[in-house]
């Protein structure tokens, strides 16, 4: 693939030095020559959605990139960054050092079991939608304004802006 495509990635962490992990992950994701950073959102702190009870709060951000990687290549790149941060997949929606999801890849749609595009639950998650709407007020997902989706998201009340001088 040679024509760059805009993709939106969502990053989250609720174990370890969360803010440091997110910062390092953004750098690692965009250090690949085929992935260029366009914009990055503010960090938000959120309560976990789904998964086991009593896990720590998440820090989340959204990253817009331009890439010449094909969708599955981008997924493998994201998973390699997760692995460098010791991501363990034991419990669905469980605690994790780093989670990187591809939310959109241009206008591509896919129902593939390996990579569903757009991300199947993104339109319901304030922890993805709100930072994305702040980063790009004109963003749309499935024909709807991301800001409108964020305002209706069930987990909206558990979200707060994370201070830039936070310690993880």
Give the residue numbers annotated as catalytic, written as ranges.
87, 96, 99, 101
Q: Closest Cα to residue 38, out of 16, 70, 15, 5?
A: 5
Adjacent-strand bridge partners of 60: 12, 44
Q: Which of 162, 167, 164 is nearest to 60 (CA)?
A: 162
Contacts of 106-109 with CB under 8 Å at 24 or more apart are 106/5, 106/6, 106/7, 108/5, 108/71
Per-residue tokens: 120: 């199947």
Q: Residue 143: which region, alpha, beta or left (left: phi > 0; alpha: psi -120 to 50)?
A: left
């Amino acid at each position: 693939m040679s024509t760059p495509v805009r993709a939106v990635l969502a990053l989250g962490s609720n174990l370890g030095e969360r803010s440091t992990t997110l910062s390092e992950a953004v750098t690692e994701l965009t250090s690949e020559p085929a992935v260029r950073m366009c914009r990055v959102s503010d960090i938000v702190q959120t309560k976990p959605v789904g998964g086991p009870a009593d896990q720590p709060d998440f820090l989340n951000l959204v990253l817009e990139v331009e890439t010449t990687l094909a969708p599955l290549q981008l997924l493998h790149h994201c998973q390699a960054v997760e692995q460098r941060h010791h991501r363990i997949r034991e419990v669905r929606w469980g605690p994790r050092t780093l989670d990187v999801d591809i939310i959109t890849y241009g206008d591509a749609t896919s129902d593939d079991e390996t990579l569903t595009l757009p991300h199947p639950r993104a339109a319901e998650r304030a922890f993805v939608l709100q930072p994305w709407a702040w980063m790009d007020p004109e963003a749309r997902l499935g024909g709807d304004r991301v800001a409108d989706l964020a305002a209706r998201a069930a987990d909206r009340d558990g979200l707060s802006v994370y201070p830039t001088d936070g310690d993880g």
